[in-house]
């Protein structure tokens, strides 16, 4: 049987406000436990929440950035459940009247085509605290620093059909929220995490299959892996004649498997009702328009500019604009070397290759944009050839340093002095009589290929620094004279 995979994502974005959603406590990661809380965050009786206007602005900015309906009337609701890291006994969220309604996002697929993914809604809510289950004399430790930190929960339509599409959607969302500056997007610190609703159905069937919800995935790599193992699990069950149970599952990245979350909770029954401590939030068109006007250049716009202004291919432009930091890096390289095409080749080529090999994201690469720009300058002014450039890049990546100093220290300067090259060519020819004979005996059309041996020898003699074009020309001339 052939299966179709159906994926919807709920992305939680931690908004980069200075203070919390409903209190004047400092928001932010990494402080000593419970040093960033107020009576409101502790859920003390009588402590009342007051809504942070910056969180509202950020939510509206997101809505306008994805062309969504921004709701002029939104209402906070209580989502009731008991867990010790939520001292109020409910989470303040939005239910019937979220701040952002229907919108959409375009992603690029592997075959380079564009697919539109629907965004159902985005609503504001507060984060919970953190439970630490290490053993504190048989008890659980609670840190409420994160309690009431503002979150924007972005819910997609079940429009994605494989794990790669889900990753592309998440990456695009990451690019948008970091571009408009509403979140630092730091996934390792939990600033952006997602729940994936995954189900499968026989190809051609309209009715959706029973879904499992994969909770709290916090890296692009894990989204792909978690979805893929979950899909395999569901296919195995259905093909063995079993049934999928609707449940919440956790992805274990060490074992690369999903498993049901141990939960004594009743089936979700959150008994939402409008929060009596907070009044309806009313905003007007002027407010929304002012925020829309203040949006920076969005990833799609930047991509279009890379094509029209810098002459990049659509593909390179979309790859380079996929993350704000990557696009900023690329533009910083261009600023130094003034050659967009070569910069794009290096950023999407060598740099990306090293990033994959070393498993680092663009904001952690050891080679600065300025250094890469200078390196490209040295290629353009013929100081180094492409092989030498790769050696310099490797050195910059592994030990840092200045481009010109590395070229100097490693003798990578391309030798374009025709006399010096000629001497090396003569040496190689003189010391390889056997190969010269073979070359002379070969048919003319096969000689081109045989030239490779001599090229290799000369480049080796020059430690890779000879100008390959000159070597090639000289070798041909001299060898043909001998034949």
Partner 1 sequence: MALENADIEKIAVLARLQVTPSETNDYANSISSILSLMDQMQLVNTDGVEPLSNPHDATQRLRKDEVTCDNQREAFIAIAPATEDGLYLVPKVID
Q: Which residues bind partner 1 (CB under 8 A)?
A: 17-19, 23-26, 32-38, 42, 50-56, 75, 80, 82-84, 97, 131-133, 136-144, 262, 266, 269, 271, 274, 276, 278-282
Q: How many CA atoms lie within 13 A of 193 on its CB side?
A: 14
> Buried b / exposed e across 421-442, counting CB within 10 Å, b at 16+?
beebbeebbeeeeebbeebeee
| Cα(301)–Cα(175) distance, integer angstroms | 12
Q: How far apart, in whole angstroms, are the C-alpha atoms of residue 479 and residue 439?
A: 8
Please report how close the Cβ of residue 269 comes to partner 1 at its closest, in angstroms: 6
CB-wise, 35 or 437, nearer to partner 1? 35
* 299/318 Cα distance (integer angstroms): 8
- The secondary structure of 205-226 as a DSSP string is --SPPP-EEEEEE-SHHHHHHH
Dist CA 379 CA 407 (whole Å): 11
**Measured from the CB of residue 27, what is the shortest distance to partner 1 in angstroms?**
8
Q: Which residue, 43 or 468, has its beta carbon nearer to partner 1?
A: 43
Residue 416, token pair as written in the block: 């374009």
Nearer residue to partner 1 within complex by CB, 279 or 482: 279
Residue 313: CB minimum distance to partner 1, A: 42
Q: How far is the CB of 54 from partner 1 (least distance, A)?
A: 4
Neighbouring-strand partners of residue 13: 152, 192
76-80 sheet: strands from edge to edge: 90-94, 76-80, 273-274
Closest to partner 1 by CB, 139 vs 430, is 139
Closer to partner 1 by CB, 239 or 265: give it.
Answer: 265
Q: What angle do CA 126, 87, 97 make, to 5 degrees?
A: 35
Pick between residue 34 and residue 210 the one whose CB is nearest to partner 1: 34
Facing residues of 194 across strands? 11, 217
Q: Please check whether residue 60 is in contact with residue 283, taking contact to mean a CB–CB distance below 8 angstroms.
A: yes
- Determine contact, residues 179/64, Cβ cutoff 8 Å: no
Nearest approach, Cβ of 274 to partner 1 (angstroms)?
A: 4
Is residue 340 within 8 Å of residue 312, measured between CB atoms? yes
Lookup result for tokens 């009743």: 266
Residue 97 Cβ vs partner 1, minimum distance, rounded to whole Å: 7
Q: Of 87 and 473, which has the nearer Cβ to partner 1? A: 87
β-strand pairing of 212-217 with 76-80: unpaired
Bridge partners (DSSP) of residue 136 are 139
CA dist 61 and 291 (Å) reads 6
The least distance separating partner 1 from the CB of residue 83, rounded to whole angstroms, comes to 7
Nearer to partner 1, 143 or 339 (CB): 143
Least gap, CB of 94 to partner 1 (angstroms): 11
280 versus 311: smaller Cβ distance to partner 1: 280
Q: How far is the CB of 277 from partner 1 (least distance, A)?
A: 10
d(CA 349, CA 447): 32
Residues across the chain: 483
Query: Closest separation between CB of residue 135 and partner 1, Å?
Result: 9
Residue number with CB closer to partner 1 (19 or 414): 19
Cα separation of 461 and 176, whole Å?
51
Taking the complex as a whole, the smallest distance from the CB of residue 168 to partner 1 amounts, in Å, to 32
**Of 121 and 225, which has the nearer Cβ to partner 1?**
121
Least spacing, CB of residue 131 vs partner 1, in Å: 6
Both tokens assigned to 428: 């190689």
d(CA 220, CA 187): 9
C-beta of residue 197 within 8 angstroms of C-beta of residue 139: no
Q: Which is nearer to partner 1, 7 or 15 (CB)?
A: 15
Q: Could you tell me the two tokens for 180?
A: 């408009």
């Amino acid at each position: 049987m052939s299966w179709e995979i159906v994926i919807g994502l709920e992305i939680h974005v931690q908004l980069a406000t200075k203070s919390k959603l409903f209190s004047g406590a400092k928001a932010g990661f990494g402080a000593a436990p419970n040093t960033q809380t107020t009576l409101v965050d502790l859920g003390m009786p009588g402590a009342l929440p007051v809504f942070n206007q910056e969180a509202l602005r950020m939510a509206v900015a997101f809505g306008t950035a994805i062309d969504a309906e921004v709701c002029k009337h939104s209402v906070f609701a209580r989502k009731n459940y008991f867990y010790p890291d939520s001292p109020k006994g409910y989470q303040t969220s939005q239910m019937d009247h979220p701040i952002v309604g229907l919108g959409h996002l375009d992603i690029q697929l592997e075959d380079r085509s564009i697919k539109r993914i629907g965004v159902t809604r985005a609503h504001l809510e507060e984060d919970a605290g953190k439970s630490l289950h290490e053993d504190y004399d048989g008890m659980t430790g609670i840190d409420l620093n994160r309690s009431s930190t503002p979150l924007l929960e972005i819910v997609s339509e079940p429009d994605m059909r494989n794990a790669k599409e889900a990753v592309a959607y998440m990456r695009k969302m990451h690019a948008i929220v970091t571009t408009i500056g509403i979140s630092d997007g730091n996934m390792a610190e939990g600033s952006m995490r997602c729940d994936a609703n995954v189900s499968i159905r026989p190809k051609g069937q309209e009715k959706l299959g029973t879904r499992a919800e994969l909770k709290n995935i916090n890296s692009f790599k894990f989204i792909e892996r978690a979805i893929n193992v979950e899909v395999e699990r569901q296919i195995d069950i259905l093909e063995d004649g079993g049934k999928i149970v609707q449940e919440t599952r956790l992805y274990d990245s060490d074992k690369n498997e999903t498993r049901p979350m141990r939960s004594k909770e009743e089936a979700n029954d959150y008994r939402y009702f409008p929060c009596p401590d907070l009044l309806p939030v009313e905003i007007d068109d002027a407010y929304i328009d002012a925020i829309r006007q203040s949006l920076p250049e969005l990833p799609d716009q930047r991509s279009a500019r890379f094509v029209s202004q810098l002459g990049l291919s659509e593909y390179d432009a979309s790859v380079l604009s996929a993350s704000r930091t990557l696009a900023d890096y690329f533009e910083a390289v261009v600023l130094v070397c003034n050659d967009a095409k070569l910069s794009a080749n290096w950023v999407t080529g060598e740099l990306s290759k090293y990033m994959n090999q070393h498993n680092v994201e663009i904001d952690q690469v050891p080679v600065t944009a300025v250094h890469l720009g200078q390196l490209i300058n040295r290629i353009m002014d013929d100081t180094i050839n492409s092989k030498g450039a790769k050696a310099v890049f490797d050195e910059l990546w592994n030990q840092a340093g200045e481009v010109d100093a590395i070229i100097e220290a490693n003798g990578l300067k391309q030798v374009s002095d025709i006399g010096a090259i000629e001497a090396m060519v003569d040496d190689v020819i003189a010391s390889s009589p056997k190969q010269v004979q073979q070359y002379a005996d070969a048919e003319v059309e096969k000689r081109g290929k045989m030239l490779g041996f001599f090229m290799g020898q000369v480049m080796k003699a020059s430690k890779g620094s000879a100008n390959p074009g000159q070597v090639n020309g000289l070798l041909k001339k001299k060898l043909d004279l001998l034949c």
